[in-house]
Structure 1
């Protein structure tokens, strides 16, 4: 993979996270990264690092084996029209990282059969702790799909799924960090109410959340079993759990995710 050229249309936070992850993992050389963006200041910074830059999207596409579309969904149509003019586009792999953009929608802009991989990363990718969901269809080969997955493993973990569920995973994957941040903020506020300094409160809560998540992943135990292990009879934890259940904690989360999914499906209808 080191010899492949990886192109980015857009140089925002997610593009930067993927670039940094690839370079840190040493799966691509800086000289093999190509980036286009309208922000010349961003391009100048990248150029100083040895990245190939240009404001012209088609030039970047022509030089790239894999093209990662790191732009907002409302920009996709304009970018895809530009890419449709690239003579050897059928030989390249186009990677979408935007919510709601279907493989069928991307292919509709081309007269030839093109290779498309659809992904849904999330913002913890910025610190190498992302969770990316990926899917593909022919003419992408399994080997080509694995190369794309390797790119996203450089910024965290990867799970592959049928495209039929890509709008549904947004609530679980793309949007879920927001729910966790809200929970961390609320727990820290409660600690501050009891006199714990805010900086200490955030550290205590954040590490507890991170540790609990790792317990689920590394032990393989059901979250309910892990919860039960913390709840001593007539103890403090079971009292807190009772109050959360009484307040509809779990149903509120499930309702929120349902609304998120409904919105994702609604947006996806524009790009299906």
Structure 2
């Protein structure tokens, strides 16, 4: 059994390479360095665009190459942070360069572990990750799935890596479309809710800036109550809902408008669309 000290030592010794240095990759790099998962000298990246290379190098203090081969050569963990439509060419390029020491982690939506294994070899250790945009602020909600060759040590490394920018859960790959529908698309649904709450505040007489600040902080605070108390959201709702009070009057309106049903349908529709796009990518 691996001890916590041994796991920490192994994580600290890993060298990380990022192919692609867009917004999500940059957030992950900055997060892992800030959290002490890796030091700048143990992280390298690549990007074909000079502006992106210079920005990441300036912000994170890491070496960023114009080509991918130096990243593979330097890294133990290779993070594929490229657009799905560019994945096939990247996989073909790096396949001959990978060795037994490499763990390959993909954050490209819709590219299955099976697709990557066909390109890189069945023995390649693969992990697929679905992050979301709040990772840019260190408040991400990520899920990851292991390929057949990946180890528990690999899973722990990726979990710690992802938790440097938020929270992470491990799920079977078959559930990643549902993750996409919930936490991947969910921020947009929450933005609509914040906007609507702000509109309600304005309708009730508040200035727009005050209403938006209160709406956003209310959502943030309520979310933290769920995460930090461990109570069911319904129980927390009941704590705010006094008999004959203001909150139950508002809850009644939301129930009549089928807010909960609409949000359930939205997540289901987004998950279904994720599955459709993944299927189309295989054709």
**How would you bin the TM-score normalised by the shorter chain?**
over 0.9
After TM superposition, the structure 1 = structure 2 runs for residues 82-101 of structure 1, keeping only pairs within 5 Å, are 82-86=93-97, 88-101=98-111
Q: As a proportion of its length, which structure holds more helix? A: 2
CA 1:75–1:191: 2 relative to 1, 3 Å: same
**TM-score of the two chains, using structure 1 as the length reference:** 0.95
Q: Counterpart in 2 of 1:143?
A: 153
1:18-67 deviations in Å (ceiling 9; x for gaps): 11111111121111111111111221233345311111112212211111
Aligned partners of 2:22 and 2:81 also within 8 Å: yes
Taking the aligned partners of 1:53 and 1:237, their CA distance within structure 2 comes to 53
The alpha-carbon deviation at position 247 of structure 1 amounts to: 0.9
Q: Counterpart in 1 of 2:184?
A: 174
Residue-pair matches, total: 271
Q: Counterpart in 1 of 2:79?
A: 68
CA 1:152–1:111: 2 relative to 1, 3 Å: closer
Taking the aligned partners of 2:99 and 2:279, their CA distance within structure 1 comes to 26
Q: Counterpart in 1 of 2:251?
A: 241
The alpha-carbon deviation at position 263 of structure 1 amounts to: 0.3
The alpha-carbon deviation at position 73 of structure 1 amounts to: 1.1
Aligned partners of 2:80 and 2:104 also within 8 Å: yes
Taking the aligned partners of 1:163 and 1:241, their CA distance within structure 2 comes to 36
Aligned partners of 1:34 and 1:51 also within 8 Å: yes
Q: Counterpart in 1 of 2:201?
A: 191
Q: Counterpart in 1 of 2:66?
A: 55
The alpha-carbon deviation at position 106 of structure 1 amounts to: 0.7
Aligned partners of 1:99 and 1:167 also within 8 Å: no
Taking the aligned partners of 1:229 and 1:207, their CA distance within structure 2 comes to 19
**TM-score of the two chains, using structure 2 as the length reference:** 0.91
Aligned partners of 2:26 and 2:56 also within 8 Å: no
Moved more, 165-174 or 106-115: 106-115
Taking the aligned partners of 1:257 and 1:47, their CA distance within structure 2 comes to 37
- The answer as to 2:272 corresponding to 1:268 is no
Picking from 67, 77, 91, the partner of 1:80 is: 91
Over the aligned positions, Cα root-mean-square deviation in angstroms equals 1.5
The alpha-carbon deviation at position 111 of structure 1 amounts to: 4.1
- Other structure's SS at 1:158 match: strand
Q: Counterpart in 2 of 1:218?
A: 228
Q: Counterpart in 2 of 1:5?
A: 15
Q: Which runs of 5+ in 2 are unaligned?
A: 1-10
The alpha-carbon deviation at position 271 of structure 1 amounts to: 4.6
Taking the aligned partners of 2:253 and 2:158, their CA distance within structure 1 comes to 45
After TM superposition, the structure 1 = structure 2 runs for residues 18-29 of structure 1, keeping only pairs within 5 Å, are 18-29=28-39
Taking the aligned partners of 2:51 and 2:137, their CA distance within structure 1 comes to 23
Q: Which runs of 5+ in 1 are unaligned?
A: none
Aligned partners of 1:105 and 1:271 also within 8 Å: no
Q: Counterpart in 1 of 2:242?
A: 232
1:119-139 deviations in Å (ceiling 9; x for gaps): 111111111111111110332
The alpha-carbon deviation at position 112 of structure 1 amounts to: 5.6
- Other structure's SS at 1:2 match: helix
Aligned partners of 1:102 and 1:271 also within 8 Å: no
